[in-house]
Amino acid sequence: MSTGSIPNNQNNHKPSAQELTVSDITIVDRKLLKRAVGAAALGNTMEWFDFGVYSYLAVIIGKVFFPDASGAAQLIASFGTFAAAFLVRPIGGMVFGPLGDRFGRQKILALTMIMMSIGTFCIGLIPDYGSIGIAAPILLLVARLVQGFSTGGEYGGAATFIAEYSTDKRRGFMGSWLEFGTLGGYLLGASLVTLMTALLPEQAMLDWGWRIPFFLAAPLGIFGLYIRLKLEETPAFKEHMEKQDALEHSKPQLGLLKMLHQNRNQILKCMGLVLLFNVSNYMLTSYMPSYLTSVLGMSELTGLLLVMVIMFVMMPLTLMWGHWTDRIGRRPVIALGAIGLLLLSIPSFMLIGSGNLLAVFAGLAVLGILHTCFSGTMPATLPALFTTHIRYSALAIGFNLSVSLFGGTTPLVTAWLVDTTQNVMMPAYYMMGAGVIGLITVLTLRETAQKPLSGSSPTVASHAEAHRLIDRLRKQRAKKSRMPQTASE
């Protein structure tokens, strides 16, 4: 599989201030932008609805599919099946990413939506271990692998879609809606499981209740597919395809392995940022409910409600950071979160481990607030690492490799570490390690706030803003041309 390449002089050409005209600037319709952001975020909502449901049902799923194991082994087996889906995500990224760069973001995002829905729906259909024996956990694994393969193309495509539709001035804020959808989907799934846990007897949840949330994937997926099919392709991709058509007879084909080699530094930066982002994410959203219940001995309902409240608090904070990164930059906010993990992970888990309800809430709140430093910035930061013609491919592969190795395995590895060492502070040490890697990575980044995406024209919201941009660039050019003369005088 290969992805098209544009010669560097064409791909990175930017008209000077004197050359720049309104026709060189992309003007995005506000209504179309809102629809694009909503459709992209909806897929993330769907993905994380499943994660919220699975995480909050981890204990029950362990009992249904691994009934002969001990309580700790059931939890580890349940999270092991959860983590297995992440092993195929890079394969999904390698398939869907190049397809998205070749045929368009919109078409591939519609495909990933329907595949995610099918995988989630099928989990609800699987008979339990008592009915079909070892075939039950095998079918669960297959369904999770289908989900993992499809989600391999989801986040990279959705982040690319929003970034390429957004104006340069508001890319951080618009991108933060992707993670708002993540938290919303997780909260929706968690809320449904919590409500059912409160209303249904434990035996009813074990017998049939756990299936209901997975069945809801079908109508959500159909609605999301309809919304995505109604969208137009991104302006940046259209511009790229026009350049490709103009260079049809001279453009070389860039193989996938060669593309990865040529962009290895940027992909490594992407992986470092995603490690930071997803270790804190999965620690809080996927592992923490089970940690509170199985390790600290809280009631299941109390643990579920605490994490849900934190998710609710995180939603507006994610949008706030997205807004502020457009003003102060992405790098300072990411660095703030990484330093926070280094300094506050141990105090946070000491508060959580105290058993006092207010202290537990405070510890979770600190972790949640630190995570919003990443959730509010990454959807705009990651796509800006790559140029248009390889953006979907490189982001999907870099993102999913890091998620597979470090993010999705966080609940499994942490549960194993706590069980093996009997040290309940292992999650804090794990998060501190992520903070170190993230801080080193952010120091290598260049600031991209309020700048065009690499290989793309400046993007604004109106003709008036386009004229103001041209005037500002001309004044800056004139000021620079006068500086040497002023210095000599």
Q: Kindly state whether residue 64 falls inside one of the protein's structural domains.
A: yes
Q: Indicate if the pLDDT at residue 24 is higher than 80.
A: no
Q: Kindly state whether residue 384 falls inside one of the protein's structural domains.
A: yes
Q: What is the pLDDT of residue 238?
A: 82
pLDDT class of 292 with cuts at 50, 70, 90: confident
How buried is 309 (Cβ within 10 angstroms: 0-12 exposed, 13-18 middle, 19+ buried)? middle
Q: Kindly state whether residue 460 falls inside one of the protein's structural domains.
A: yes
Q: What is the pLDDT of residue 373?
A: 96
Judge whether 155 and 399 are in contact, CB under 8 Å.
yes
Bigger pLDDT: 16 vs 130: 130
Amino acid at 194: T
Judge whether 109 and 154 are in contact, CB under 8 Å.
yes
* Alpha-carbon gap, residue 416 to 426, rounded angstroms: 10
Q: What is the pLDDT of residue 484?
A: 56
What's the rounded mean pLDDT across residues 64-81? Answer: 73
H/E stretch holding 2: strand 2-4
- Mean pLDDT rounded to a whole number for the chain: 84
Helix axes 89-103, 391-402, angle to 10 degrees: 170
* Alpha-carbon gap, residue 465 to 328, rounded angstroms: 20
Q: Kindly state whether residue 242 falls inside one of the protein's structural domains.
A: no
Say what percent of the chain tops pLDDT 90: 32
Tell me the pLDDT tens digit for each residue of 231-279.
888 888 888 777 766 655 445 556 778 888 888 899 999 999 999 999 9
Q: Kindly state whether residue 160 falls inside one of the protein's structural domains.
A: yes
- Residue 374 domain boundaries: 15-237+263-480
Domain count of the chain? Answer: 1
Tell me the pLDDT tens digit for each residue of 110-130.
898 888 888 889 989 999 888
Bigger pLDDT: 479 vs 259: 259
With H, G, I as helix, E, B as strand and everything else as coil, classify residue 337: helix
What's the rounded mean pLDDT across residues 131-146? Answer: 87
Q: Indicate if the pLDDT at residue 148 is higher than 90.
A: no
In the chain, the N- to C-terminal Cα span, in Å, equals 59
Q: Kindly state whether residue 435 falls inside one of the protein's structural domains.
A: yes
Q: Indicate if the pLDDT at residue 11 is higher than 60.
A: no
255 forms beta bridges with: 2
Q: Kindly state whether residue 416 falls inside one of the protein's structural domains.
A: yes
CATH number reported for the structural domain that contains residue 184 in this entry: 1.20.1250.20
Q: Indicate if the pLDDT at residue 488 is higher than 70.
A: no
User: What's the predicted TM-score (pTM) here?
Assistant: 0.84
* Alpha-carbon gap, residue 242 to 432, rounded angstroms: 46
What's the rounded mean pLDDT across residues 63-83? Answer: 74
Concatenated DSSP letters of 247-289: TTTTPPEEEHHHHHHHTHHHHHHHHHHHHHHHHHHHIIIIIHH
Count of alpha carbons within 13 Å of 360, Cβ hemisphere only? Answer: 20
What's the rounded mean pLDDT across residues 405-424? Answer: 83
Q: What is the CA radius of gyration of the chain?
A: 23
Tell me the pLDDT tens digit for each residue of 340-380.
999 999 999 999 988 788 999 999 999 999 999 999 999 99
Q: Kindly state whether residue 284 falls inside one of the protein's structural domains.
A: yes
With H, G, I as helix, E, B as strand and everything else as coil, classify residue 27: strand
